[in-house]
Amino acid sequence: MGWRRIKAPLPPGRYYFSGNEAVAEGAIAAGCRFYGGYPITPSSETMERMAHRLGQIGGVFVQMEDELSSIAAVIGASWAGAKAMTATSGPGLSLMMENIGYAAFTETPCIIVDIQRAGPATGQATRVGSGDIMQAKWGSHGDYQIIALSPWSVQEMYDGTIRAFNFAERYRVPTFVLGDEAVGHLRETLEIKPWVRVFDRKKSRGRPPFDSKNPRQIPPMPTFGEGENLLVTGSTHDGHGIRRTDDPKVHSRLVRRLNDKILLNQQDIVDTEEFFIEDAVVTVLCYGFTARSTLTAVKELRERGHKVGFMRLKTLWPFPHERVGQLSQGVEKIFVPEMNRGQVAGEAMKSSRCEVVSFCQTNGEIIRPEVIRQEVMRVL
């Protein structure tokens, strides 16, 4: 187990897919064979396509009674040996939070695709937002880490979903694809390459599935039914899964390791993309669909001679504090346009040595390039 190269299930070539369809195709390519979910706008096309595709290839698709059971089924399927996923939007994500903490604590590989819409609560079901950034990281109680990707195109909905499965399997951690309505419903050219690199969880008979001497290393993950003594619990447990709910050392070691296994490996996980930053006075820090508007705005500003840079967060969690910190030393201001009330701007402030200007738009509409251009002009 580990890395291997497989043939892409779809014939190589160019397709015209929506982002939500591309997520489903990426999941199938990564080896996903279980989907448990409850449909919700604006993510439903992923579920629809998974129902169709898993039927074709002999996977298992279950429409559950709600989101609580959806994520529970995904966790169960993962321990039964399947690569498993669900897709939802904000209201569904809120319902999943308890078991996402359980998945993190039991080190269960699973994928949660969240196609964000305008919240809070039911909000505007068909409208765009990106208000779930903090919830994805902090939504369940206790101290744990997750991984979250932020695709900006249909191509990245496909590639990113494959990557998310690989992260989940490699680090045994719930991994989020944090899309938004605009990317989910966007149709775009999708290039399918002939080969896909996939990572399959490592197994090692007899070795403890919940501990490792080196905190960077990920313990092996057995599967129920293969003959190993296996105990999976959401209470504090030792390396063999035995409950140790009164032992401070065991709890401390476990919680630290669950955080360290992601944070000490973040060089491998964190991914950013930068353009025009060499001489930038102001750099726009962006992610998700807003990055598309930002790139257009930054190019226009450059054409007019303004020294504006572009930095896109392809992964949001773990947050790229080191990179943002480096960036902040070379610019006067970091400008952060978001379809929420400043969630990433607040995070960026933790590591920035310069002023961070937050621009928030929460009206259920995308932030258009001309708006970013005008707002950046105000702070230049």
Partner 1 sequence: MSKPVQVRFGGFGGQGIVLSGLLLGRAATFEGKFVAGSNSYGVAARGAACRSEVVISEDPIDFPQVTIPDIVVVMSQRAYDLFSRQVVKGGLIFYDSQFIVPHRQRAMVEVPATEMALRNVEEKRVANVILLSAVVAQTGIVSQGALLRAIDESVKGKFLELNRKAAALGFHWKEEIHER
d(CA 301, CA 282): 11
Q: What is the DSSP letter of 166?
A: H
CB atoms within 10 A of CB 195: 11
Tell me if 122 contacts partner 1 by CB under 8 A: no
Tell me if 118 contacts partner 1 by CB under 8 A: no
Tell me if 304 contacts partner 1 by CB under 8 A: no
CB of 110 closer than 8 Å to CB of 103: yes
The alpha carbon dihedral of 362, 365, 369, 370 has a sign of negative
Shortest distance (Å) from residue 380 CB to partner 1: 21
For 351, the 3-state DSSP assignment is: helix
Query: Smaller CB distance to partner 1: residue 41 or 266?
Result: 41
Of residues 343, 341, 273, 268, the one with CA closest to residue 313: 273
Q: Which residues contact 82 (CB under 8 A, 6 or more apart)?
A: 32, 33, 34, 59, 60
Task: Show contacts with partner 1 in window 27-56 (CB under 8 A).
Answer: 41-42
Query: Smaller CB distance to partner 1: residue 226 or 273?
Result: 273
In the shown chain, the binding pattern of residues 11 to 30 toward partner 1, with x for contact by CB under 8 A and - for none, equals ---xxx--------------
d(CA 31, CA 357): 41
Tell me if 192 contacts partner 1 by CB under 8 A: no
Tell me if 126 contacts partner 1 by CB under 8 A: yes
Query: Smaller CB distance to partner 1: residue 189 or 229?
Result: 189
Tell me if 295 contacts partner 1 by CB under 8 A: yes
Tell me if 296 contacts partner 1 by CB under 8 A: yes
Tell me if 188 contacts partner 1 by CB under 8 A: yes
d(CA 211, CA 104): 14
Shortest distance (Å) from residue 149 CB to partner 1: 19
d(CA 71, CA 330): 43
Tell me if 193 contacts partner 1 by CB under 8 A: no
Q: Candidates 369, 377, 379, 380: give the one binding partner 1 (CB under 8 A).
A: 369
Tell me if 189 contacts partner 1 by CB under 8 A: yes
Q: What are the residues binding partner 1 (CB under 8 A)?
A: 14-16, 41-42, 125-126, 153, 182, 185-189, 292-293, 295-296, 299, 366, 369
